[in-house]
Structure 1
Amino acid sequence: MGKLIYARSELEIDIADRALLHLQLVIGAKLRRRESFFFSWKEDVAVGSGRSSIWLTPALPLYFRFTSANPGPVNREWMELLTASSNSGRGLVYTEEPGVPPSWNPRGHV
């Protein structure tokens, strides 16, 4: 279970390493182009359900911490979905990996 740590704050977002890899690639591409945007995800029932969002901008530091040395190959279809989402008016909205059973949860809560 990896973590996305936001702007030197106490906010640490638990995200499965495989999902974190794909998010790092999409977020990194946007920030390299100096683009700011929202990143949103659905919360697990264990933390109250609902939806959370953070504003990502090149001025704020992000730290991607992986627990696995190899989260697997990049899924190009998933990258395209996440990239299209990141370029929309809503910003990057986390979606599950295509072809993975819907019971899988990106935040690692079972």
Structure 2
Amino acid sequence: MGSLYYGNSQTPIGIEDRALAHLKVAIMTKLRRGESFTLGWTHAKDQPRGRSTIWLHPTIPLRFVFDEPETPELSRQWIEDLMRSANSTGGIQLVPEHLDTDPIAIGEQQPVQVGADVQRVETDG
């Protein structure tokens, strides 16, 4: 289980490593563009019932911590789905992974089609 640290909070947001790796690519792509957006999730079963949303802005510190030392193969489709949700009024919602046969190799830069925009995605984990 990976962790996302938001702002100066010492309380981590627990997110499975593979999902966090995909989320990192989507978040960093948006923040590099200077775009702000929300990230929402439903609380895990071991937490109080409910859901949370945070506002992501380029000036708010973020730290991604992964339990696994190796970066997983990234799914182009899953990243595209996360980017689409980031561009919606509801912000990024962690969506389930869709299996595809076109993974992105680690360290490789690939164009990712998001609507009419094409951006470079760095996949260094």
TM-score by length of 2: 0.74
Alignment of 1:9-88 (within 5 A): 9-88=9-88
* 1:49 CA drift (Å): 2.6
SS in 2 for 1:34: coil
Higher relative contact order structure (alpha carbons within 8 Å, sequence separation ≥ 6): 1
* 1:71 CA drift (Å): 3.7
Instruction: Name structure 1 gaps, 5 residues minimum.
Output: 100-110
Percent identity reads: 42
The CA deviation string for residues 3-53 of structure 1, in whole angstroms up to 9 with x for no partner, is: 100012123101111111000000000000001111001112321232111
Residues 1:3 and 2:3 aligned together: yes
Instruction: Name structure 2 gaps, 5 residues minimum.
Output: 100-125
Question: When you count strand as a share of all residues, which structure comes out higher?
Answer: 2
SS in 1 for 2:90: coil
Question: When you count helix as a share of all residues, which structure comes out higher?
Answer: 1
Q: Which amino acid aligns with 1:18?
A: R
Let me know the Cα RMSD of the aligned residues.
1.2
Structure (1 or 2) with the larger CA radius of gyration: 2
When structure 1 is superposed on structure 2, of 34-43 and 9-18 the one drifting more is 9-18
| Equivalent residues, number | 99
Q: Segments of 4+ in structure 1 off by > 4 A?
A: none
